[in-house]
Amino acid sequence: MLGVGHVVWALIAHREGLAAVAADGVIDTVGDGVFVQEHARDDRAAAFWFVVVGPLLSAIGMLMRDAERRGDQTSVRRASRLLLGVSTVGALVIPRSGFPAGIAISLRGSLAGGRARS
C-alpha cells in the first residue's frame, strides 16, 4: 500500500511536473543533474522519482509479505531493519513525509520476523 500511496501522492502533489513530462513526450524530459542540468532539480524530477519509487516500494512489500508467509524470519528481519534504517534517516531529514509510515511498517515486520511460524 505504501507504493500505491507514493504514486497517488505524485499524481496529486506533482501533477504539474508529470503534465510537463507528458507534454514534452516523456523521453529525455528530466535531467540527471550531471550530464543534463535542465529539469534535474525541479517538479519534473520530484514527480519522476515519486512515480519510480512507488513500484519499488510495492515490490519490496510483496517480497516481505511472501517471506513472512513462508516463515522466512531471517529475510523479514533483514528487510525490516533495512527499511527501518532508511525510513529513520528519511524521517529525520523530511519529517513531514511518508517516512514515518516506513518506520511503522518496519517495526511490524521486525515483530513478525521474530515470531515462529508454522
d(CA 71, CA 36): 46
Cα distance between residue 12 and residue 5, in whole Å = 10
Q: Which of 33-37, 39-43, 106-110 has the lowest mean pLDDT?
A: 106-110
What number is the average pLDDT over the span 7-11?
A: 92
pLDDT: is 113 or 75 the higher one? Answer: 75
What are the Cα distances from residue 63, in Å, to 20, 40, 69, 73, 102?
A: 34, 31, 10, 12, 15
pTM as predicted: 0.77
Question: In the chain, what are the domain boundaries?
Answer: 1-53, 71-118
Tell me the mean pLDDT in the region 57-79: 90
Q: How many CA atoms lie within 13 A of 63 on its CB side?
A: 15
pLDDT over threshold 90, residue 117? no
Q: What average pLDDT is seen over the chain?
A: 89
